[in-house]
Structure 1
Amino acid sequence: MIGILIPVHNEEALLGACLKAALMAASHLGLLGEEVTVLVVLDSCSDGSAGIARGYPVQCLEAQARNVGQVRGIGARHLISQGARWISCTDADSRVAPDWLVAQLALGVDAVCGTVTVDTWGEAFGPAAQIRYHQGYEARDGHRHIHGANLGVSADAYVRAGGFEPLACHEDVQLVRDLESSGASIAWSHAPQVITSARLDARAQGGFGDYLKSLILAV
């Protein structure tokens, strides 16, 4: 079984599109009928996220952590306990490509770090900010970006590395560092595609949204 892990905190505006994309990837013919479980971990949600998630054929867990590392860890442990051999992580403000899972698994490694494509740039992003982003981002194989929105890992390698640490931010980066230390094989690939939002109200302080904000504020 393959698990798709999605942490959620007040994502009612974007969650539906995220889940539709994840379920499409889960039904790709290239998976040869292997079971895929989509797991939504609802973290301290006070909006309509829970109702939206329960309208789709996905599993839901609830947490009161306000800590993305802890939430990803809860989800990963749950999926592994159900027999998942591979865990693919994305975010609720992102949309994975239909062949996302197939592209990750085809690389034949312990873990996959994929790239992201920013969705429509908002009015706050002038040409200068967009140029700064593209100058610093390597959308190619061999990149060194780490995104919780596009990360895959085998269950065995995940356990050997110690799993997600309960960090409020950069839990994905820490996991990859721990995977490297444990000797895991890692593909830094542009093949698994994910579109992510350009929103500035980041759910995790210090995360991708705050990075985008810094590009606007840069002189």
Structure 2
Amino acid sequence: MMLRRIDAVVPAHDEEDLVGASIDALLVAGAVVLAHRPGLEVGVVIVLDDCRDDTARIVRERLARGWEPGAGGVVVSVTERSVGAARGAGVAAALQLGDAADDERWIANSDADSRVPADWFVAHMAAFDAGVDVLLGTVRPDFDEFSERDVQHWLATHPAGHLPGNVHGANLGVRADRLRQLGGFGAMPEHEDVDLVARARAAGLRIVPTLDGMVTTSARRRGRTPGGYAAFLAAEYPLAASS
């Protein structure tokens, strides 16, 4: 089966400080994957979830900068205050774009406080080509927001080649037909990514972790959900929790 379309789905709730850089990185990654496979359709769906700050304006301005031929950006607005519901709305919108069949599509998930690398779409495309159903991408905190001590601790606990296989919504890919088979993301306030992967495991799908296309995410200690990545960082790096 040939991959015909890949879409990034990115929920955003009051991310005016970070969403611009997130979209800029996605635009670069979109151009890179099109250079690898010119006929591929590439898109980004940004889901504005009850945004009360300047996120919506920034998103629309960044997407208006344009895409390479064959790519495009879509904005969806919801008022769920739920990352699972927002991600689900983004997936639903993505599946309406283009005319590719579900088994020719890939949904690459990220977050509005994260920056994908230039080869991010390429890594997800390669997973589809390799017959992967669910790709568990890796993330690392933004070292610019870490103290030197925290950076060293991170490097010591994440040595080169270390493949933890954790689940991160900021870097999670799913073949579209498998996502539909699983019933999509649950409308949950957090851990919708972990829930989806648990159901994928129960269904016997092929789940593969990778270090390719590692995403850089905010190192803030207070996030948009009470038990997300920010909570992990606050617990693991308490000396910098005041940032």
Partner in structure 2 of residue 2 of structure 1: 6
Match of residue 120 from structure 1:
143
Structure 1 residue matching 2:143: 3-state secondary structure: coil
Contact 2:115 2:217 in 1 (8 A): yes
Matched, 1:87 2:107: yes
1:169–1:132 Cα change, 3 Å:
farther
Q: Secondary structure at the match of 1:41?
A: strand
Letter of the 2:58 counterpart: I
Question: Aligned-pair distance for 1:211?
Answer: 0.8
The separation in 2 between residues aligned to 1:145 and 1:132, in whole angstroms, is 18
Give the structure 2 partner of residue 38 of structure 1.
Answer: 44
Matches within 5 A, 1:128-139: 130=151, 133-134=154-155, 136-137=157-158
Q: Any idea what the Cα deviations from partners look like across 1:143-187, whole Å, max 9, x if unmatched?
A: 221111111111011111121011111110111111111221111
Change (3 A) 1:70 1:103: same
Residue 73 of structure 1 corresponds to which residue in structure 2? 88
TM-score of the superposed pair, with normalisation by structure 1 = 0.90
**Percent identity of equivalent pairs:** 37
The match for 2:182 among 145, 161, 184 is 161
Whether the 8 Å contact between 1:115 and 1:139 is mirrored in structure 2 is no
3-state SS in 1 of match to 2:221:
coil
Matched, 1:177 2:198: yes
Counterpart Cα distance in 1 of 2:133 and 2:160: 21
1:121 Cα offset (Å):
4.8
CA RMSD of aligned residues (A): 2.0
- Cα displacement (A) at 1:135: 5.3
Aligned 8 A contact 1:88 1:153 in 2: yes
**CA distance 1:212–1:121, change in 2 (3 Å):** farther
Aligned amino acid, residue 48 of structure 1: D
Are 1:90 and 1:149, in contact at CA under 8 Å, matched by a contact in 2? yes
Q: CA deviation at 1:126?
A: 6.9
Q: What is the aligned counterpart of 1:101 among 103, 106, 121?
A: 121
Give the whole-Å Cα distance in 2 for the aligned partners of 1:14 and 1:152: 22
- 5 Å-filtered alignment, 1:137-148, equals 137=158, 140=161, 142-148=163-169
Q: 1:139 to 1:212 in 2, by over 3 A?
A: farther
CA distance in 1, matches of 2:161, 2:197: 18
CA distance in 2, matches of 1:195, 1:103: 15
Cα distance in structure 2, aligned partners of 1:180 and 1:113: 12
Deviations 1:126-151 (A, max 9, x none): 72x55654555476464221111111
Q: What is the rounded CA distance, in whole Å, between the counterparts of 1:103 and 1:146 in structure 2?
A: 16
Q: Which amino acid aligns with 1:200?
A: R
Partner of 2:67: none
